[in-house]
Structure 1
Amino acid sequence: MQEHRFTVIDLCAGVGGQALGLEEAGFEVTAAIDIDADSCGTISGNRPHWYTVQADLKRLEPLDHAPLDHADVLSCGLPRSPYTIAGKQLATVDKRDTLQAVLDMASFVRPRVLLIENIPTFVRADKFEAERQKVREAVEDLGYRMTSGVLTATDFGVPQHRAHGFMIAMHPEDLACFVWPDPTATRCPTLGETLLESMASRGWPEAAEWAERACEPAPLIMGGATGRGGADLGASRAKSIWARWGVYGGSIADTAPGPDFRLNHEIEPRFGLPRLTVDQVALLQGFAPDWKIAGRKTSAYRQISQTTPPPVAAALGHRIAEALRRSPRR
């Protein structure tokens, strides 16, 4: 007998990392929603059978879209910028903020699981206790209880020092069957191991030398936030960290280094170190090479830099599915 597949609606879907990971865990993605046209193009191009909606979640009318009527899991990767410690403007300044829109959708859909992802400060920092309390009160009104945790990308084979905060709300009987995923037993690949083939693809003779020196998982991929400007690997401190691992972070390349490029760690980084391409950044985020990203370079980098790595979402998805199957409420 074929095992029942649980369903997912993914909000603020972006490049599709969280939805893709849940799909890998056996879920059926019934709808994906994002405000960005290129993000929706990415999802539609890779998963044409998903019901994709380009809309502002704060103004979306779910009654206009039949696939939004129900799902076992309502998933959302909230916009990150408002939940940084240094952030000067919270998402909650507007009464119809994105977090409230997610909670409104949960009230409409009434899923068995509400899954919210953001940076770790969202689930840990004192600054955002009011936002966490807002979630608790909303899910308690639905008869759920909430748990939160932080998962580290390298624990799940993603070659990047990256952490993600998650809030999960379920009925108490379901939640009693949930356990957070354990790290995988295999060693996490390094930056060099992950990108060696790509760096050598255009005949760069020093690719192996570069890869040998890049002997740890990559630094945190950041930058690319909407309205921030062009595609780069973050602020000055982030760029200096990338430079120590042999990458110039001031911009994103169109192609891998060619046969004439010369590696030099001693001179100005932009002259002696390779830059990453969008496709290489996607590999460092745990995406397979066949996941094609729509849009021009800045848009494509913004999509991939802000996402949940699919292997992290998949590990969490397996545990959510196990909880739903083990629960006496099933």
Structure 2
Amino acid sequence: MTTGADQGIGGYSVVEICAGAGGQALGLEQAGFEHRLAVELDQNAAATLSLNRPNWDVRVGDVANAEVWDPSEFEGVDLLAGGVPCPPFSIAGRQLGASDERDLFAWAVEQVAIVKPRALMLENVRGLSQPRFAAYRQRVLDRLAELGYEAFWKLIYAADFGVPQLRPRFVLVALKTEDARFFAWPESVESSSTVGSALNDLMGADGWPHINSWVTMADAVGPTIVGGSKKHGGADLGPTRAKEAWLKLGVDGKGVADAPPSAFSPHPSVKPPRLTIEMVKRIQGWGASDSWQFSGRKTSQYRQIGNAFPPPVAAAVGRSIRNAFNHEVIAAGVESAATAVSADPLFSLLSSSCGGVRESDIYAAIPDLTERILGKRLQRLSLDFAIHESVIDGETSYRLGEFRGFTGQSEHFRHDYITANRSKVS
């Protein structure tokens, strides 16, 4: 089933993991993809998917649990897509990467070996693009290359696609070699959409006499909507800094309202209004014509919306993938996407040696390192990979060991965490 601007152009299939409440799903559908399966851990988000697309196969549970779905049953699907958990890479968190029990990025990449999709699309937070995760990203690229895929990374801002908030997301697209040369990242669109212009009709729906003044106050792109998790975050617009940014736009970010301001509500300079769920949907990229309903109570609905991948961004990336499948010639003036690279000299040096690398050889190969910086780099690297130390002729030698991340191992610390915290994981 397809909807939106591209209605009737379907034909490519998608399996979506960690599907959430449908932001990416709706966007991919609008780009011409038809869902064969959607898997989601949160019951309310899964209920939202089934509510809006009752004919879809929606599975509820841990995506890495073989009892929920068998990836081998979907071998040959055109696209494997998903928005795997963000906390392992979030700047607001501890950035534990592969040492975080919630990390599923490497596992998702590993499913490519089983599903053998024509393309892979994964989105995550901006933190994954930072130097901290250069080695992690390199492992992802190396594994995809082993499987015959060419990978592309890009930090994409939702505001560049008509969504009235910044919302940077780090997106990975990997395609088989025969399609990769036809891939170009979607170009940004010219848009005058601001918080005020996007919410004008909703904020003034109950006859608020100060709507025009508020639209003028809110004449800018908003900060990123923060959905939070079951463990942290409720129905408000995020941490203190985000609330301060919203207040500058004439929005009280301390909660979510049940209704827009009434005809008797004061001027926004006296009492700024709060956003309603419908308004948050609009800020997240669901348009007025997208009849998408959300299951659950207000806090759950807000969390589902706030954690979603904006549909217009998913649609834009999906169309670029579809164009690559169709081997469409890249338009004049548009550059094909550059193959992803991830430079971590220390990781490259250690991974190229089976027997270990002496400290003196490390300093010779990477002259800008000092003893203190080397210690920090090794500590950072040890969060994602085991680092084995030995002393040879009085000099310390380092050897890169196994990857710490979850890729499907039956014996992994992730399983105990999921079992013990099933009701808190989101």
Q: What letter corresponds to residue 139 of structure 1 in structure 2?
A: L
Which one-letter code corresponds to 1:85 in the other structure? I
Q: Which structure features the higher share of helix residues?
A: 1
Query: Deviation per CA, 1:268-322, whole angstroms, max 9, x where unpaired?
Result: xxxx110011111110111134111111111111111111111111111111011
How many angstroms does 1:84 deviate by? 1.4
Match of 1:258 in 2: 262
C-alpha distance in 2 between matches for 1:58 and 1:128? 23
1:176 CA drift (Å): 1.1
Equivalence for 2:116: 110
Distance 1:194 1:229 in 2: 25
Runs of 4+, deviation exceeding 6 Å: none
Partner residue, 1:199: 203
Residue type at the aligned position of 1:55: G
* Contact 2:59 2:68 (8 Å CA) reproduced: no
Give the superposed CA RMSD.
2.2
Preserved CA contact (<8 Å) 1:11 1:34? yes
Task: For residue 58 of structure 1, give the secondary structure of its aligned residue in structure 2.
Answer: coil
Give 2:40's match in structure 1, choosing from 34, 41, 56.
Answer: 34
Where do 1:151-162 residues align within 5 Å? 151-162=156-167
- Secondary structure of 1:326's counterpart equals coil
Matching residue within 31, 50, 54 for 2:56: 50
Q: Is 1:21 the counterpart of 2:22 in the alignment?
A: no
- 1:10 maps to 16
Judging changes above 3 Å, is the alpha-carbon distance between structure 1 residues 43 and 246 closer, same or farther for their aligned structure 2 residues?
same
TM-score of the aligned structures, taking structure 1 as reference length: 0.90
Distance 1:96 1:195 in 2: 35
> Which residue identity lines up with residue 245 of structure 1 in the other structure?
L
* CA deviation string 1:83-124 (max 9, x = no partner): 1124225352267841233123222211010111011221x2
Tell me how far apart the structure 2 counterparts of residues 40 and 292 of structure 1 sit (CA, whole Å): 12
In the alignment, is the contact (CA less than 8 A) between 2:97 and 2:133 conserved in 1? no
Indicate if the aligned counterparts of 2:40 and 2:62 stay in contact, CA closer than 8 A: yes
Q: Which has more radius of gyration?
A: 2
How far the C-alpha of 1:203 sits from its partner, in A, is 2.1
Q: Which runs of 5+ in 2 are unaligned?
A: 1-7, 330-426
3-state secondary structure, aligned to 1:75: strand
Q: Contact 1:188 / 1:217 at 8 angstroms: preserved in 2?
A: no
**CA displacement, residues 8-46 of structure 1 (integer Å, 9 cap, x when unaligned):** 111111111111111101111111111000001111111
1:98 counterpart (99, 104, 108): 104
Asked whether the 8 Å contact 1:24–1:314 carries over to 2, the reply is yes
CA separation in 2, counterparts of 1:130 and 1:183?
Answer: 29
Deviation (angstroms), 1:264: 4.2
Q: SS at the partner of 1:117?
A: strand
In 2 relative to 1, CA 193–320 (structure 1 residues): closer, same or farther, beyond 3 Å? Answer: same
Q: Which moved more, 1:191-200 or 1:52-61?
A: 52-61
Name whichever of 242-251 and 206-215 sits farther off: 206-215
Given residue 248 of structure 1, which amino acid in structure 2 is its aligned partner?
Answer: D
Q: Which runs of 5+ in 1 are unaligned?
A: none
SS at match of 1:219: coil
Q: Which amino acid aligns with 2:193?
A: P
SS at match of 2:213: helix
Percent identity, please: 39
The separation in 1 between residues aligned to 2:257 and 2:98, in whole angstroms, is 36
Residues 35 and 57 in structure 1, CA contact (< 8 A), matched pair in contact too: yes
Instruction: Rate the CA distance shift 1:308–1:229 in 2: closer, same or farther, 3 A.
Output: closer
Q: Which residue number in structure 2 is paired with residue 273 of structure 1?
A: 272
Give 1:305's aligned residue: 306
Contact 2:257 2:274 in 1 (8 A): yes
Assess if the C-alpha contact under 8 Å between 1:154 and 1:188 holds in 2.
no
1:141 corresponds to 2:137 = no
1:62–1:68 Cα contact (<8 Å) kept: no
Question: CA 1:172–1:64 in structure 2 vs 1: closer, same or farther (change >3 Å)?
Answer: closer
Q: State the aligned residue count.
A: 320
In structure 2, the residue corresponding to 1:180 is in which secondary structure? coil
Residue 215 of structure 2 corresponds to residue 182 of structure 1: no
2:306 partner amino acid: S
Deviations for 1:175-224, whole angstroms, at most 9, x for unmatched residues? 1110111112x323111111111111122221221112211122221142
What CA distance in whole angstroms lies between the structure 2 residues aligned with 1:51 and 1:181? 29
Q: Distance in 2 between matches of 1:293 and 1:136?
A: 36
State the partner residue of 1:288: 287
2:126 matched to which residue of 1? 120
